[in-house]
Amino acid sequence: MTIAGVVTGADERARCGWVGADAEYQRYHDEEWGTPLHGDRALYEKMSLEGFQAGLSWITILRKRPAFREAFAGFDPAVVAEFTDADVERLMNDAGIVRNRLKIHAAISNAQLVLEMAPGELDALMWSFAPAPRDAALATLAEVPAVTPESEAMSKTLRKRGFRFVGATTMYALMQSSGMVDDHVAGCWRALA
């Protein structure tokens, strides 16, 4: 049942309406989405997966995440930065991931850029764009933005440093999923009180 942007699952727990009845989406919503995420490696993974998601649904990426993690060495930037043309071809032949040459190359070059940064710098940089927490949850899904001035600024800064597949909409999705913003809507069990 859906009421004002909230869906109630078989477990009778009210969640943000985008979750629907999919068990994997419910787990992701309940355990990850909107939970603060820190660490260069974790945020590099999130950046990479959000980049691969561009033009696709998040559930597609979520279901492929184990294969992505295996294919990209657990998203260890030090390992991915050393990927060769042979690795790119291996990835292009891996049906478990999204086989997009531009996105694969972006993940590799982004890893190289992460390695050029001091430890903790990516985390600090990305979190520097987190807006102040809202005083109250958004009332409906219609109020959830696709892009904000903060995500535009994050995108611009990352692109200036050479990062790719980090557009403002993609970076806002990263901000949501990594807890930089809390977009759980009113009535969702995870929403702001």
CA-CA distance, 37 to 109, in Å (whole number)? 22
Candidates 28, 32, 82, 127; catalytic one: 28
Location of structure tokens 């901000």? 175
Consult the annotation and say whether 114 binds a ligand: no
φ/ψ of 47, rounded to 5, equals -60, -45
Candidates 25, 44, 45, 50; catalytic one: 50
Catalytic residue status for 32: no
CA dist 171 → 5, 25, 44, 150 (Å): 23, 20, 12, 9
Catalytic residue status for 50: yes
Catalytic residue status for 33: no
Candidates 18, 32, 58, 127; catalytic one: 58
State CA 60 to chain mean position distance.
Answer: 13
Consult the annotation and say whether 38 binds a ligand: no
Q: Which strands sit side by side in the sheet containing 6-8, from one edge to the other?
A: 2-3, 6-8, 14-16
CA-CA distance, 174 to 50, in Å (whole number)? 7
- 150-159 long-range CB contacts below 8 Å, 24 or more apart? 150/175, 151/175, 153/129, 154/126, 154/129, 157/125, 157/129, 158/125
Consult the annotation and say whether 162 binds a ligand: no
Which residues are marked as active site?
A: 28, 50, 58
Annotated binding residues, written as ranges, equal 16, 29, 184, 188
Binding residues for Zn(2+): 16, 29, 184, 188
